[in-house]
Amino acid sequence: MTSLPQSTNKKLGLVIDLDTCVGCHACVVNCKEWNTSGYGAPLSDLDAYGAEPSGSWLNRIHTFEITPDDAPASIVHFPKSCLHCDDAPCVTVCPTGASYKRSEDGIVLVEEDRCIGCGLCAWSCPYGAREMDPVENVMKKCTLCVDRIYNENLPEVDRVPACVRTCPAEARHFGDLGDPDSDVSKLVAERGGYDLMPEQGTSPVNKYLPPRPKTHGTADIVFTPKEPPLNAKGFLGWLDAALERL
């Protein structure tokens, strides 16, 4: 079995704002595009336009309707990918060492040449964040776009995960969550960011910002009829005269 590092120099991860995510799936599509045609290994698809399509996706969005007792119903879009846990069970269960956590930045990766496709890591992940590639029969997962964030051939603005770069609502944030002075750590502290399923004891690095509570509107809408034009001619004049006779 594979061992986890006792500590990591950084804790690179994502902070996802559930209040501003609009469920557009731009992050999902750009993740797929980058990891298929960019620097990363391709993510295969089978029968993509047929009756039973299947394939690998490293990022997915689930949409829920919530109906709290004291607030109006609302829609929450919930993006989900690997959370790069500090105590990652997908790493410790791997029999070949293909799954591992980097000590320099805390990113959890899969060395595909060593993966035997046994699926133990997927079974042990409580978040369902790993997917078996149906063509290569190896496990695929979010890499935090490690091939982007350290790539000096890219403009500095692009050295973030593809999902972060493409989000039109700026609901996704990337940084070092091990640094209390980083922008992402401050954002988590200000908004009450939380771990997903903390009872699992995995200590996920990625955090979620809760949606702000919705309230019933109380504003009174007053409609003021528009005064008809004085001495109107043509059709408006005829209509004004007809209404006067009623």
d(CA 36, CA 21): 24
Residue matched to tokens 């799936």: 25
Kindly report the number of other CB atoms within 10 A of residue 192's CB atom.
10
Q: What is the pLDDT of residues 98-112, one digit of tens each?
A: 999 999 999 999 999
- Which residues, 6+ apart, have CB-to-CB distance to 230 below 8 Å? none
Q: Are 83 and 129 in contact (CB under 8 A)?
A: yes
How is the chain split into domains, by residue range?
A: 12-209
Nearest to 140 by CA among 108, 163, 167: 108
- Separation in Å, CA 54 to CA 28, 35, 46, 99, 233: 15, 16, 5, 23, 67
> Which pTM was predicted?
0.83
Q: What is the CATH number of domain 12-209?
A: 3.30.70.20
Q: Give me the pLDDT at residue 127, please.
A: 95
Please list the alpha-helical segments (H only) found in the chain: 26-37, 89-92, 120-124, 146-149, 162-166, 183-191, 234-244
Instruction: Convert the pLDDT of each residue in 159-189 to its tens digit.
Output: 999 999 999 999 999 999 999 999 999 999 9
The answer to whether the CB of 139 falls within 8 A of the CB of 94 is: no
pLDDT in tens, 69-82: 777 788 999 999 99
| CA-based end-to-end distance of the chain | 90
3-state class (DSSP) for residue 139: strand
Q: How far apart are CA 133 and CA 15, in angstroms?
A: 27
Report the range of poorest mean pLDDT among 34-43, 105-114, 148-157, 195-204: 34-43
